[in-house]
Amino acid sequence: MNKQQRRALLALPLTIALTVSACSSSGGGTKTGPKTNVPASNLPTLDINAHPTSDLKDGGTLTWAIEQFGPQWNYNEVNGTDSGIFNTISALMPEPTRTDEHANVTFNPDYWQSVKVISTTPQKIEYKLNPKGKWSNGRAIDVTDFQAQWKALNGTNTKFAAASTTGYEQVSDVSQGTDQFDVIVTFKTPFAEWPTLFSPLYPKEVNANPTTFSAMYNNAIPITAGPFKFGSFDKSAQTVTVVRDPSWWGTKPKLDSIVFKTLDGTAADQAFANGEIDYDYFIANVASEYDLAKSSKTGHVTVAGGPNQRHFTFHNGGITADLQVRLAIAYGTNRLAFAKSDLNGLPIQNFATLDNHIFVPGQTGYQNNSGAVGTYDPAKANSTLDADGWKMGSNGYRTKNGKELDVRFTIPAGTASSANEAKLFQPMMKAIGVKLVITTVPSNDFFTKYVIPGNFDITPFTWIGTPFPGSGAKAIYIGPKVGGGENYTGMDDPVIDQDFKDALSSLDLNVYRQKLNDADVHIWNEVHSLMLFQRLDMDGVNNKVANLGSFGFSTIDYTKIGFLK
């Protein structure tokens, strides 16, 4: 998951490399503690075959593999947070906040002429909008769009199925300044990662009420305002086509159109190897898929250090509602074995576990908070289950009150890394008396029918990192009833909620980092999820395509993608 989103104290808050998540998304005071010894990466921060647009042809259609074909194309809605949906929508909708390969923040002048902090007590941000900006229905992008998005995402009306309310719930008012293109946003409490707000921006029509919020972009993309506009759906081929928008007021895109084609991981790699697609987005971190994509005679694999996290999520229901069971499974899991196996054969020199849910290695604030939970200790796993009343049976599996310790491990079909992890995980669990039941489900249903509704015990996937760790992580780890729209575990810990609130209310970067690390300690102790390793950002790209590949922290510029002359 994605998922995506943060930055000088108050001058341009947080020009530091913050990170985290969404599914497939920041100084002077308290110290954050010792940093983990993380080997320096041998990977570039950006690998996109960069060229000036003068080197590119005008026109052409690019085919781009995505993992999920909607149906929800409102990225702010809880069912719309897939990375493929984000990549598609980013070509079509305003995404004013941009980051470079080091996660430094800038703003896109096509949408915002200027953005500045005009007050610190209370915190006020003034956005001067580009008056040329228009939605595809002809209406100007103005203050009313900001007001509507704030009201839909601030959490006051829980009927809005918001993926995250982070930041928006700290806003007390969105008002018009000198004219409709002058937006003043006032905060009740300071919000460190304010650049995450209103990016992407959706039109006020979809944010009008809870019904339109969930229904208007369901199996439809009715209103856009980007360099491309919606072209067509092909439900049988599972494609969505976007075309150059002649009404676009910014830099003209080089491509005529982009076809986003839904393909399972291995199927995408095979299609890329066969020259059937131009961009194999997010190649799974397993040697078989890397080797398959690398075998292409028409393309190459790009690699960058990514802010992305491979992990196991635990559901707080059924058999895994028992904290002692979750702890035992954690103790019995050899996380380093997954890193070595999944990343074996890939262009990486050092294998290491990921020991933080919020920051990644090499990022300011990263430290090892995994403690005993992250330490492989099968003996401790067995003693924990013994003490919890789970007795070992003659068949090698434990029972309690007549119930066998069966744990469902739900994985998406066609994803080699998940299948590999299932094979590794099963004997680890057998060694402590846990019967791991591998449940393979259709890739297109994986999130909508299994992960989001909590129809699993444990499930593996990758959180797609962003330059803003607090905001992205908050939606994953705070309680679902207080805005954790991506907390698919169902776990609710008020201490974690408060740590995130304190972190995101502080404009002191040291306090911000300390509170996020405090939250991370509690996340480990709850066994909300087990972090495995930092995932490489690997993508397959047609040799004739420029300005596309592995972006790491940086924002994709769709106007610069094209075919070389």
Over residues 217-272, the pLDDT tens digits come to 999 999 999 999 999 999 999 999 999 999 999 999 999 999 999 998 899 999 99
Please name the residues in contact with 328: beta carbons below 8 A apart, sequence gap of 6 or more. 380, 381, 382, 384, 385, 388, 432, 434
Q: Quick one: pLDDT at residue 284?
A: 83
pTM: 0.73
Q: Quick one: pLDDT at residue 68?
A: 86
Sequence length of the chain is: 565
* 175-195 mean pLDDT: 95
Q: Quick one: pLDDT at residue 41?
A: 47
Q: CA-CA distance, 388 to 376, in Å (whole number)?
A: 19
Domains of the chain: 306-536 (3.10.105.10)
Q: Quick one: pLDDT at residue 35?
A: 31
Angle at 310 between CA 351 and CA 365, to 5 degrees: 75
Q: Quick one: pLDDT at residue 42?
A: 53
**What secondary structure does DSSP assign to 510-539, as a single string?**
HHHHHHHHHHHHHHHHHTSEEEEEEEEEEE
Over residues 514-563, the pLDDT tens digits come to 999 999 999 999 999 999 998 888 999 999 999 999 998 889 999 999 99
Q: Quick one: pLDDT at residue 362?
A: 64
Over residues 80-114, the pLDDT tens digits come to 988 889 999 999 999 999 988 877 789 999 999 99
Over residues 143-154, the pLDDT tens digits come to 999 999 999 999
Provide the β-strand partners of residue 186: 124, 173
pLDDT at 174 over 90: yes
Q: Quick one: pLDDT at residue 366?
A: 87
- For residue 330, CA distances in Å to 322, 409, 533 come to 13, 14, 15
Look at strands 435-441 and 406-412 and give their pairing: parallel
Phi, psi of 151 (to 5 degrees): -65, -35
Q: CA-CA distance, 261 to 277, in Å (whole number)?
A: 9
Q: Quick one: pLDDT at residue 265?
A: 84
Q: Quick one: pLDDT at residue 43?
A: 64
pLDDT band at 329 (very low <50, low <70, confident <90, very high): very high
